[in-house]
Structure 1
Amino acid sequence: MIRENLDFVEENIRKACERAGRDRSEVTLIAVSKTKPVSDIREAMAYGIKTFGENKVQEIRDKTEEITEPLNWHMIGHLQANKVKYLPGKVCMIHSVDNVKLADEIEKQFAKHDLVADILIEVNMAHEDTKFGLSPDEALGFVREISDREHIRIRGLMTIAPYTEDPESNRVYFKGLRELMNKINAENIPGVKMDTLSMGMTGDYQVAIEEGATFVRVGTGIFGERDYTKS
């Protein structure tokens, strides 16, 4: 099943890039493996997937202990400051930074290991009460505030669009995130040159690619539905 799903997702990514006049190499598929067993991850690895996303620090810790092959692990879920200490050397990017306390803790913990954390600023483009993230109006000021941290590299922006049956309804949020990144880049903040947009999930990643996504986060579309009673 996973192989067939990956073939289907890959074909959709290729077609979306074609429609947008983009090169396929501009988009990285993150296979969201949260709650899924190591056997599923290994099956995806067998078909060439090397980039995986997890929502919980504990799952990253457990899975990286069992899977020692070099993979690109992304922390894509809400991150508590007291869990940051487990991430240096484990993840290649943190997608969900939205407050100064968290940014300072990332700076502190990665400095201990003489590492630089690639991070994305999470923006709540749809202003949903149930979602984390800064409002679009807060993003520029936040980037300015944390831009001088020596062990943080601000790579771009991330958003989680509303769940919808109509992917087109989220186009406005993806377009808005791209325009927000361009606006912040135009400010020429020292040390900040963002090139990454993490947006689009199983239901809407094709629209996200058409609007400039460089990372798409696909879980159910690859691994099937999740059983949260086991998480």
Structure 2
Amino acid sequence: MNELNYGWDQVRTRIHEACHRVGRDPQDLHVVAVTKYLDLEETKQVLDTGFVHVGESRVQDAVPKWKNLGNRGIWHFIGHLQRNKVKDVIGRFQYLHSLDRFSLAEEVNKRALQKEINVRCFLQVNVSGEESKYGISPNQLDEFAKEVANLSQIEVVGLMTMAPKLERTEEVRPVFRELKRLQQRLQKLDNPRLQVPHLSMGMSQDFDIAIEEGATWIRLGSILVGGYKRGGNL
């Protein structure tokens, strides 16, 4: 998978450059290799290349891959999750990046309790306000976070957002900056279960800016595996 190796070399250089510009340590950055458009063999090659974190967003496609490769890597569910699919996700995916409503949180907690496990979750915030995007609104975040913090099996590890697709990438910077501000606001609540140390933001088209604004997790698909892309622009 030479293309993947080449893509990763380019990404790694850009990560180091972005971190250098704002005085950050590149070791603080985690990359989720988005494999949702790859088949089983291609996903295996991603893991063979050395990627630890893989991201999937379609339960029906992800579960067969997990059944074959779940003993390798750390699996992240990054897409919108329906309540009736929670049973297929909990116990397979260590991270959920798209917790965006309390009814979903309750179902996640219930399934996790049955399996006696904790689930690391990002609260998804629709910072841009686009109707086409999921996530709670920023003004609902504090109340939502407090409610989720009361659920015993959910570990709120951070916040997640998706920036809009704009012709000038620089224009997405305020979206990432706002998520950082929301993180800091939650941390001031002084709730030990809402330390939210991580920000999951930045994709192939805008990860440099996301890093400069504080991302700790970036979700990359096409820039790593462009030749295998099945659509989308992660």
RMSD: 1.5
Q: Which amino acid aligns with 2:152?
A: E
- In 2: Cα distance, 1:85 partner to 1:63 partner: 16
Shift of 1:66: 1.7
Shift of 1:155: 0.8
Secondary structure of the 2:112 match is helix
Question: Which TM-score applies when normalising by structure 1?
Answer: 0.95
* From 56, 77, 84, the counterpart of 2:79: 77
Hey, what does 2:159 align to over in structure 1? Answer: 157
- In 2: Cα distance, 1:98 partner to 1:194 partner: 15
Identity of aligned residues (%): 33
Shift of 1:58: 2.0
Shift of 1:48: 1.5
Shift of 1:20: 1.6
Hey, what does 2:136 align to over in structure 1? Answer: 134
TM-aligned CA distance change 1:9 to 1:158, over 3 Å: same
- In 1: Cα distance, 2:22 partner to 2:50 partner: 25
- In 2: Cα distance, 1:49 partner to 1:227 partner: 20
* From 195, 210, 220, the counterpart of 1:208: 210
Q: What does residue range 167-178 of structure 1 map to in structure 2 within 5 Å?
A: 167-178=169-180
1:148 aligns with 2:150: yes
Shift of 1:166: 2.0
Name the stretch that deviates more: 79-88 or 198-207.
Answer: 79-88
Is the CA contact (8 Å cut-off) linking 2:112 and 2:118 kept in structure 1?
Answer: yes
Hey, what does 1:227 align to over in structure 2? Answer: 230
Hey, what does 1:101 align to over in structure 2? Answer: 103
Secondary structure of the 1:224 match is helix
What stretches of structure 1 move > 6 A for 4+ residues in a row? none
Shift of 1:54: 0.6
**Across the two proteins, how many residue pairs are aligned to each other?**
229
Structure 1's unaligned 5+ residue stretches are: none
Hey, what does 2:18 align to over in structure 1? Answer: 16
Is the CA contact (8 Å cut-off) linking 2:32 and 2:220 kept in structure 1?
Answer: yes
Question: Which TM-score applies when normalising by structure 2?
Answer: 0.94
